[in-house]
Amino acid sequence: MYTTQMDAARKGIITDEMRTVARKEGVSAEKIRELVACGRVVIPANRNHKGLDPAGIGEGLRTKINVNIGISRDCRNFDIELEKARTAIDLKTDSIMDLSSYGKTHEFRKKLIEMSPVMIGTVPVYDVTGFYNKELDKISADEFFNVVEQHAKDGVDFMTVHAGINRETARRFKQNQRLTNIVSRGGALLFAWMELTGRENPFYEQFDRLLEICEKYDVTISLGDALRPGSINDSTDAAQIHELIVLGELTRRAWERNVQVMIEGPGHMAMNEIAPNVVLEKRLCHGAPFYVLGPLVTDIAPGYDHITAAIGGAIAASCGADFLCYVTPAEHLRLPDINDMKEGIIAARIAAHAADIAKGISGAREWDYKMSEARRNLDWNCMFELALDPEKPRRYRENSIPENDDTCTMCGNMCAVKNMNRILKGENIDIL
């Protein structure tokens, strides 16, 4: 018998989930077992998530992406958010995080888990005030943990828990002034709770209690970066690094209980700081998988932050980050609609795939080679089938039909590909 995927791996047991991940990644099941055993790969798979098609996150595996959805006070339509989830699954997201913070969150979460074959994550602290209908300073430590256990019981595969922002980390934050303070929603809530109550963060103070819940249901902990930078001015500062050190210590404690761990990473950061931050995380957190939001490499592009995030995500993943949280054009502006979500997914998948090419992930380059062959052959249908998003290039082609089928309306008979194919065959070309 085993309690978690890590427990099984350390006992030499190859689980069905490990076999599934091995098949998807094109590596041996024994290799997956070894990586799970040492914490460098996680397989978030709550035993109560019955319809899950497991995936692995971590060293040597394809870079995964996450999509955020959820109901809020201003946007509480279940049907819209569930439609987003279905669309995200169709667009091949690897994970969905339910960030619901208002209303019938339990009902929504249950529906989402029942219909989703991809892993589901949550941030339980978002749910606490609505669950108890209490102001933040009236919530007890027990009530925080009750919500965590409810999420675990419902079948959530991984949870973001901001256990690294303790009173000492908060002191360092206050002593080192930032331009944008704390931008993590969960981090800000727990910082405010500590300030209002004068007490220690319950997730840090009673970390063993959290581990007990995660071990019971095999929930992967995603240790949240409460002090992630919210602007390029604030990146890699004393508070961020101090929290990362704490997260490394908590990682070892979790592994002692056979609880799987991911580490969440910075949000806004200049490009030249990304690679050193990945090295720091891998070093200080003992090779645990790294889950990053972006990073957004500039702060001046509201409405286009899916692009700023994709640039940072590609760099981070090429340097060793394992999991990218998508960012949409609506970031910082509103709850994304389904079109925003699609743009965010495609941008994140491009970033992940570009990084996989650089990391030498099996099959990544071959996909590109097949596309290049289709382009050389001017095989438009094959190009569409290979495209990451087949619908958009097909629509572009249909909206601007060329005179000759073997060209496009940009180059026409001056098409370099067409003319090179003919010249190399010894044929004549007809430009005019």
Check the annotation: does 154 bind a ligand: no
Going along 48-171, which residue ranges are E strands?
57-58, 64-69, 95-98, 119-122, 158-161
Chain mean position to CA 385: 26
Check the annotation: does 415 bind a ligand: yes
What secondary structure, in 3-state letters, does 140-173 show? CHHHHHHHHHHHHHHCCCEEEECCCCCHHHHHHH
Check the annotation: does 214 bind a ligand: no
Amino acid at 393: P
Check the annotation: does 126 bind a ligand: yes
Check the annotation: does 227 bind a ligand: yes
Q: What is the β-pairing status of strands 57-58 and 41-42?
A: antiparallel
Check the annotation: does 268 bind a ligand: yes
Check the annotation: does 97 bind a ligand: yes
Check the annotation: does 306 bind a ligand: no
Residue 110's alpha-carbon distances to 71, 113, 115, 152, 212, in angstroms, are 13, 5, 9, 11, 22
Check the annotation: does 91 bind a ligand: no
Residue 381 neighbours by CB under 8 Å, 6+ apart: none
Is the CA virtual torsion 4, 6, 11, 17 positive or negative?
A: positive
Check the annotation: does 204 bind a ligand: no
| Contact of 132 with 139, CB cutoff 8 Å | yes
Check the annotation: does 291 bind a ligand: yes
Check the annotation: does 377 bind a ligand: no
Check the annotation: does 340 bind a ligand: no
Reading the block at residue 246, the tokens are 């704490």
Residue 355's alpha-carbon distances to 262, 340, 361, in angstroms, are 19, 23, 9
Check the annotation: does 353 bind a ligand: no
Reading the block at residue 130, the tokens are 């609505």
Residue 147's alpha-carbon distances to 63, 126, 161, in angstroms, are 30, 10, 12
d(CA 228, CA 244): 10
Check the annotation: does 68 bind a ligand: yes
Known binding-site residues for Zn(2+) equal: 268, 332
Known binding-site residues for [4Fe-4S] cluster equal: 408, 411, 415
Known binding-site residues equal: 68, 97, 126, 162, 184-186, 225-228, 264, 268, 291, 332, 408, 411, 415
Known binding-site residues for substrate equal: 68, 97, 126, 162, 184-186, 225-228, 264, 291
